[in-house]
A and B are shown apart, each in its own frame.
Chain A
Amino acid sequence: MLVIPRWKLWTILGICFFGMVFAMPNLLSPERLQTMPSWLKNTVNLGLELRGGSYLQLEVDLKEVAKEYLSNLLDETRLNLRKQQIGYTNLVVESKGTASPSLTFLLRNPDDAEQATKVLRAIDSGLTVSVENAKVTAILSEQMLEHRNRSIIEQSIEVVRRRVDESGTKEPIIQRQGADRIVVQLPGIEDPAEVKKLIGRTAKMTFRLVDSATPPVVGAPGSMPYKSAPLGTEYLEEVSHEGQVRYLAVKKQVMVSGESLIDAQATFSHTGQPAVSLKFNSVGARKFADMSAQNIKKQFAIVLDDKIISAPVFQDIIPDGNGQISGHFTVKEANELSLLLRAGALPAPLKVIEERTVGPSLGADSIHDGKIGTVVAFILVSIFMFLCYGTFGFFADIALIFNLILLFAGLSLLQATLTLPGIAGIALTIGMAVDANVLIYERIKEEIRAGIRPLAAVDAGYKRAVTTIIDSNLTTLIGAAVLFEFGTGPIRGFAVTLALGILISLFTALSLTRLIIVLWARRQKVLALPL
């Protein structure tokens, strides 16, 4: 019993020492922390509800993208069906309920089914086509949908990140969640309205020609023109700051799209108006030069998310891929627009489905109260253990201190996020951490009552308690692992704290207190245990 191998002694002391080192940054002031080497900079990551800030959960409208994709195939389908002389009616894209959108049409002659299928497959090999009672239905195949959706989410995250970064938010966290969600955490932001406005816009920009043969329609904002636009064009609202809006007939064909932009900056036009300067890549520049050369003195439209932000006239050929939009912007709007254009268009509309904002005062209060609660819990449990077990209780208290130190070291190293339930979890750890010691001490007491000599009793007590401790802790550890795997958000955070707490209390109870007891026993040369 009294012999502990030297390597074991040093391992235990080493773990305790490094625990203290890695927990220490949490005690430093932010200024002092800056001067520490990078491996010592990790502190416990406070959740937004503790440090204040905004949390947004966004849903990517994947269905809308699939619908748009199929809608783009309509014209080609129409054309090819005619070419093959297949009679059809009711060619539409359907998107109802939760089912994935589909392109459908009715065959005039059901015998054409095979050929119609061929036509569709030739247009897009990623379509799954089925025919039932002369009704042809094409949907995007499972694999293609999956593949596309994955890249849409990744791209959306990228765009959101660029937009948030450009808006100057410090340390934002942008993560994918589940199949179609993005979580954005903005520490320190108290009013997420600005950021939401930035994130919520698709920012798809196109340059299109205005149909000069169709006169513009004037109406109240939001009221679409009653008459339909000529084939190949559509009425789009022109943004202005007056009470009325103009609707211009704009060609559907896109001459140049925002994808060929390489830069956008807020600037001022030669008349001193706020404007946005654009720079295109070589392909875009060439297209822009062609477009301007062929349409000199004609009006074109700069369309952003189905709204015309500016409808200037080509005065000259624009050869070098540099352009300028001077709409009816304020300086702020020009800044915002240039930011959106720089960050790129979102591949799919995003919807805010959850929003939480915590002011800094509440977070600070929660930390303050949480600290006090934890300290009181620690003091109460320590006194109680001492009252019950005397010197041995004091040993358990030392183990408890290291339990907390190691927990903070672990949380700092793992960069796990500490949330409110996490604080409760820590306090609970204090209560439960002594359990292993209680189990051991009670066993030792039993051995002594059975008439076994003190040191032998300590040895036997440890040995007998180990199975129970392992059984009970391993069960909880398995539970924590499953929770981490299937849980989300706070539940996951709780699982990490729980698992860490269990591993650490196993170490402190089985190794650290044992070491302390051995060292103490050697010095005392005891005959009676102070239990």
Chain B
Amino acid sequence: MRRLQLVPYNTALNFMGFRFITFAIAAVVTLASLTGLLTKGLNYGVDFRGGFILEVRMPQSPDVPQLREKLSALGLGEVVLQEFGDARDLIIKVERQEGDDHAQENAVDRIKGTLGAGVDYRKIETVGPKVGSELVQNGLKAVAFALMAMLVYIAIRFEWQFALCAILALAHDCIAILGLFSLFPFEFNETAIIAILITAGYSINDTIVIFDRIRENIQKYKKLSMGELINKSLNETLSRTTLTATTTLLALLALYFFGGKVISTFSLPIIIGIIIGSFSSICLAAPLLSYLNLKRGEEVKE
């Protein structure tokens, strides 16, 4: 039986050769993301801003524009009405009402009254503004600490140059993902933080596998120039890199298409994140190493 081979085993792609193109791509992505973050900011969900969300299943497909008008007439401030999957499913988002718990309850009751009878309330969330900002802060803090711990490990197990390149690649990934959440209509909530984490985790995994090979080859091929060495290592690990990316993407695509609405909105940013992460470990982290004066075998002996 013929085996499936994604990448021929003796590739000799010149990654170092087109590093300027990939660096340029990374620079554009980073700049665009930063611009988006600075001008538009993040598209915070109700979890973060405070307010409430109702996820409802109507008895029959509603007339959305008419319903939107009716709900806006309640005077509850900005009311967002989203169709969600099925024509009968709706998400209603309302900003936090001034006043205490009763004001929130009151608003929910008025919405319920407007929607009428026979509605299945699948989910109701009310969040205070304080909780929201804490969620972002704590989440991002946890992510930052986790990334730092990983980098310390790399610096210990490898050399500081590897850790530095990994930081740059990771920073690129995180900024790009945040940019994705800023420039595209993805809501930034607690699951978004997990999406960033998965991307960062995958990317660093990928980077380490490649770095491991570079470290091994440094000992093995002492005469090779740094550029050639990185190229060789990338080509040797290329079939693993693509295979693992494929299996991971297959699993995520299965979730995206079959995992239900909530999980699919969660898996899309991760799918993009895995692609970004693979790109950064092959086209950023490894080529960047050539600019740092890595210790070669000969030098150690001298």
Contacts and interface: CB of A to CB of B under 8 A. Distances in A.
Interface of A: 49, 57, 190, 193, 196, 200, 351-359, 361-362, 365-366, 368-370, 372-374, 376-377, 380-381, 384-385, 387-390, 420-421, 423-425, 427-428, 430-432, 434-435, 438-439, 442, 445-446, 449, 467-468, 471-476, 478-483, 485-491, 494, 498, 531
Interface of B: 1, 3-6, 9, 55, 57, 100-101, 105, 120-128, 130-131, 135, 138-139, 141-143, 145-150, 153-154, 157, 190-191, 193-194, 197-198, 200-202, 204-205, 208-209, 212-213, 236-237, 239-240, 243-244, 246-255, 257-263, 266-267, 270
Contact of A486 (B9, B120, B138, B212): B138
A431 B249 contact: yes
Given A472-B209, A475-B153, A388 B123 contact: no
B85 to A, nearest CB: 10
A384 B250 contact: yes
B181 to A, nearest CB: 16
Q: Which of B202, B212, B252, B254 has the most CB of A within 10 A?
A: B254
A446 B236 contact: yes
B121 A359 contact: yes
Contacts of B6: 388
18 contacts: A49-B123, A355-B126, A356-B123, A359-B123, A366-B262, A368-B260, A369-B259, A372-B259, A387-B4, A388-B243, A421-B266, A424-B270, A435-B240, A468-B208, A471-B208, A472-B205, A472-B209, A483-B143
Contacts, number: 233
B27 to A, nearest CB: 26
B142 A475 contact: no
A475 B208 contact: yes
Contacts of B239: 442
Contacts of B251: 377, 380-381, 427-428, 430-431
Contacts of B205: 432, 435, 472-473, 475-476
Contacts of B100: 351
Given A361-B57, A372-B259, A430-B251, A489 B190 contact: yes
A393 to B, nearest CB: 9
Given A390-B1, A420-B191, A486 B247 contact: no
B138 A488 contact: yes
A351 B101 contact: yes
A355 B50 CA distance: 11
A359 B120 contact: yes
Report whether over half of chain A's contact residues are helix, strand or loop; otherwise say mixed: helix
Contacts of A442: 237, 239-240, 243
Contact of B255 (A373, A449, A489, A490): A373
B250 A381 contact: yes
Nearest to B243: A438
A424 B190 contact: no
A366 B120 contact: no
B244 to A, nearest CB: 5
Contacts of B130: 353
Nearest to B236: A446
A377 B240 contact: no
A366 B194 CA distance: 18
Contacts of A427: 251-252, 254-255, 259
Most buried by B among A424, A480, A489: A424
B142 A370 contact: no
Contacts of A200: 101
Contacts of A482: 142, 145-146, 148-149
B142 A483 contact: yes
A471 B154 CA distance: 8
A369 B150 CA distance: 34
Contact of A424 (B124, B213, B263): B263
Given A357-B125, A366-B263, 17 more contacts: A354-B128, A357-B121, A365-B260, A369-B260, A370-B260, A384-B4, A388-B4, A421-B266, A424-B266, A432-B247, A439-B209, A445-B9, A449-B9, A473-B205, A478-B150, A487-B138, A491-B139
Contact of A478 (B122, B153, B193, B260): B153
Contact of B131 (A354, A376, A380, A467): A354
Contacts of B209: 439, 468, 472
A439 B206 CA distance: 11
A475 B151 CA distance: 8
B101 A479 contact: no
Nearest to B260: A369
Contacts of B237: 442
B153 A474 contact: yes
A390 to B, nearest CB: 6
B120 A361 contact: yes
Contacts of A449: 9
Contacts of B193: 491
B212 A196 contact: no
B131 A432 contact: no
A86 B251 CA distance: 78
A245 to B, nearest CB: 19
Contacts of A488: 135, 138-139, 142
Nearest to A423: B263
Given A428-B252, A432-B248, A471-B208, A438 B240 contact: yes
B122 A362 contact: yes
Given A356-B125, A388-B3, A479 B263 contact: no
A38 to B, nearest CB: 33
A287 B108 CA distance: 47
B190 A435 contact: no
The 10 closest A-B CB pairs, nearest first, are: A369-B260, A373-B259, A431-B251, A431-B248, A377-B254, A362-B122, A377-B251, A353-B128, A376-B254, A387-B4
Nearest to A488: B138
A439 B212 CA distance: 12
A4 B157 CA distance: 30
B101 A196 contact: yes
A200 B105 CA distance: 14
A377 B105 CA distance: 41
B105 A193 contact: yes
A200 B4 CA distance: 63
Contacts of A352: 101, 126
Contact of A362 (B55, B135, B153): B55
A68 to B, nearest CB: 19
Contact of B244 (A366, A434, A480, A485): A434
A434 B236 CA distance: 19
Contacts of B191: 420-421, 490
